[in-house]
Amino acid sequence: MTIIASLLRAAELPDSPTARLDAELLLASALGKPRSYLHTWPEKIVSSEAASTFAGLLQRRRLGEPVAYILGQQGFWKLDLEVAPHTLIPRPDTELLVETALALLPDSPAKVLDLGTGSGAIALALASERAAWQVTALDRVAEAVALAERNRQRLQLDNVQVLQSHWFGALADQRFDLIISNPPYIAAGDSHLAEGDVRFEPESALVAGADGLDDIRHIIATAAQHLNAAGWLMLEHGYDQAAAVRELLQGAGFEHVESRQDLGSHERISLGRLPC
């Protein structure tokens, strides 16, 4: 006979920096309960079936599999999103894109484009806060498009359209007031690709050429063809790429170019506006 508190004390995840949180999330999933249940009822008896399920989930985590992929979900902004191994796991630092976009444009009709939407995190977060915005979310990977559409339907966000497209390829002459993207920006061969959760994420969503800037260069060079006058382009990038991205934006004719810092005080996003 095993109780919740004993299972959590015995859970060993030596290579995880968030071992206690990971164990609680996995046990809550095995029990089919919210995480708060574990703290409210620590002396509750756990069935042998649930204990066995928990042991299996722990083993997957010990082998390095991200908790988000094990559970098939991840919180982002104020949303709970389905995630899967063919998309990146939404991260708190990316919420800076959402926060900045909401502060940049008023709560009035606007057309917004999310390039490389993955699970739909950015597009859906923006649409959930701005009912007057029409948001288009694009991804070149069919499985990602299907995943983002499932998230859209479950959240009942009718002001989002999810389409399959390699960057701007499917847009013809459509124009937007804001283009936003968290594109691949890691350099090929970067040692971080072999570390932590990143090992399990799709390389195509991470790597962008020898210096990590190939996709950012393409987006910046092409964005003006799909922006309205005075439209904004906003990009997430690596912690050491801000100066290079600002230079690219300025070279493409963008004004009011600046970078913003993430939760770790790194310049994580850069943005610029087309002339009026």
DSSP for 102-144, written as a single string: HHHS-SS-EEEEEES-TTTHHHHHHHHH-TTEEEEEEES-HHH
Q: What is the mean pLDDT of residues 238-264?
A: 95
Q: Is residue 71 part of a domain?
A: no
Q: Pick from 35, 64, 93: which residue ends a domain?
A: 64
pLDDT, residue 1, reads 58
Position 110 pLDDT exceeds 70? yes
Encoded tokens for 154: 């479950």
Residue 55 structural domain: 2-64
Tally the domains of the chain.
2
Q: d(Cα 136, Cα 174) in Å, to the nearest integer?
A: 11
| Range among 11-15, 39-43, 166-170, 209-213 rated most confident | 166-170
Residues 147 and 10 placed together within one structural domain of the fold: no
Report the DSSP pairing between strands 176-181 and 227-236. parallel
Instruction: Look at residue 109 and tell me if it is in a domain.
Output: yes
* b (16+ CB within 10 A) / e for 121-138: bbbbbbbbebeebbbbbb
Decide if pLDDT at 192 tops 80: no
Q: What is the pLDDT of residues 123-134, one digit of tens each?
A: 999 999 999 999
Task: State pLDDT tens for residues 76-103.
Answer: 999 999 999 989 999 999 999 999 999 9
CA distance linking residue 36 with residue 34, whole number of Å: 5
Is the whole-model pTM more than 0.85? yes
Residues 264 and 145 in one domain: yes
Query: What is the average pLDDT value for the chain, to the nearest integer?
Result: 92
Asked if 254 contacts 272 with a C-beta cutoff of 8 angstroms, the reply is yes
CATH number at residue 227: 3.40.50.150
In a domain, 73, yes or no: no
**Structural domain includes residue 251:** yes
Q: What is the pLDDT of residue 212?
A: 87
Instruction: Note the maximum CA span of the chain.
Output: 70
In this structure, the answer to whether residues 24 and 95 fall within a common structural domain is no
Are residues 90 and 217 located together in one domain of the fold? yes
The pair of structure tokens assigned to 27 is: 């046990």
By DSSP bridging, strand 133-139 and strand 110-115 are parallel
**pLDDT at residue 196, as a whole number:** 75
**Which residues partner with 250 through β-bridges?**
none
Residue 243's pLDDT band (boundaries 50, 70, 90)?
Answer: very high
CA angle 265, 116, 182 (to 5 degrees): 5
- In this structure, what token pair is assigned to residue 69? 């992929």
Residue 32, C-beta contacts closer than 8 angstroms, at least 6 positions apart: none
Instruction: Evaluate whether residue 72 is within a structural domain.
Output: no
88 shares its domain with 22: no
pLDDT score of 149: 98
In this predicted structure, what is the pLDDT of residue 11? Answer: 84
Give me the mean pLDDT over the 243-255 stretch.
Answer: 97
Phi, psi of 148 (to 5 degrees): -60, -35
Model confidence at 68: pLDDT above 90: yes
Instruction: Give the residue with greater pLDDT, 239 vs 190.
Output: 239
Confidence of residue 145 (pLDDT cuts 50, 70, 90): very high
User: 114 with 196, same domain?
Assistant: yes
Q: How far apart are the first and last CA of the chain?
A: 70
CATH number where 55 lies = 1.10.8
| In a shared domain, residues 54 and 179 | no
> For 9-37, what is the mean pLDDT?
89
> Which residues face 168 on adjacent strands?
none
Count of beta carbons in the 10 Å neighbourhood of residue 201:
20
- The confidence score (pLDDT) of residue 6 equals 86
Distances in Å between the Cα of 169 and the Cα atoms of 16, 147, 223 are 40, 20, 12
Q: What is the DSSP letter of 170?
A: T
